[in-house]
């Protein structure tokens, strides 16, 4: 029963039934208090709900507390919690360096968050949030993301911008062209 509830909930917050986000939040809350195998996953989802105000009023402090608890307890959801905490820190200039450090750590470990962390790390180097701007590190990180199915399109676009900013129209055009081809393929696949 709990497994079905958990997957129903994932579907609800995943956007299939957005109108039931309050129900999803309540299920996450219930599961986070249980001793089930889904307790820590539910806590991560609960924290994300608080962070973005999905099914509940936005509360970044509660989100931060839950993420920190999962990290402190070395839960099986430690890396997703670190990523969530970094996203939370990224919204406040006082915590930019902490967000950068979490992204940096996550970008080096094999996990589901590794490529997302690399992307966010590149964005930190690009914007100078938590670290000095460094176009070469941005470029290097985006190059590594070209192998990621989830981030390839964004990486092509960002690399094209890198070359554009360097005044290299030929390479900029090449990467923009690859980006647009990928976007066209996505459109064809979705129809």
Nearest to 166 by CA among 121, 134, 135: 135
The arithmetic mean of pLDDT across residues 18-47, rounded, is 88
d(CA 100, CA 75): 22
pLDDT at 105: 96
The arithmetic mean of pLDDT across residues 126-135, rounded, is 96
The arithmetic mean of pLDDT across residues 3-18, rounded, is 48
Q: Tokens 């940096």, residue?
A: 104
Higher pLDDT residue, 3 or 173?
173
* Lowest-pLDDT range of 64-68, 115-119, 184-188: 184-188
pLDDT at 19: 61
Q: Is 77 exposed, middle or buried (0-12, 13-18, 19+ CB in 10 A)?
A: buried
Nearest to 71 by CA among 35, 40, 100: 40
Q: How many CB atoms lie within 10 A of CB 177?
A: 12
The arithmetic mean of pLDDT across residues 144-156, rounded, is 90
Confidence band, pLDDT 50/70/90 cuts, at residue 89? very high
* Lowest-pLDDT range of 13-17, 100-104, 110-114, 164-168: 13-17
Judge whether residue 190 has pLDDT over 80. Answer: no
């Amino acid at each position: 029963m709990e497994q079905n509830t958990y997957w129903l909930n994932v579907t609800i917050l995943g956007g299939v039934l957005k109108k039931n986000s309050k129900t999803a939040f309540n299920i996450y809350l219930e599961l986070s208090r249980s001793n089930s195998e889904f307790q820590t996953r539910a806590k991560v989802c609960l924290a994300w709900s608080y962070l973005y105000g999905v099914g509940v009023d936005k509360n970044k402090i509660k989100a931060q507390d839950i993420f920190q608890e999962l990290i402190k307890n070395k839960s099986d959801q430690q890396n997703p919690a670190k990523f969530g905490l970094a996203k939370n820190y990224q919204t406040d200039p006082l915590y930019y360096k902490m967000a950068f450090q979490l992204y940096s750590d996550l970008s080096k470990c094999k996990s589901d968050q590794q490529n997302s962390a690399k992307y966010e790390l590149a964005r930190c180097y690009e914007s100078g949030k938590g670290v000095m701007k460094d176009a070469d590190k941005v470029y290097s990180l985006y190059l590594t993301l070209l192998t990621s199915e989830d981030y390839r399109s964004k990486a092509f676009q960002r690399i094209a911008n890198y070359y554009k900013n360097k005044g290299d129209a030929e390479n900029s055009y090449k990467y923009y062209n690859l980006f647009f081809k990928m976007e066209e393929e996505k459109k064809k696949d979705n129809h």
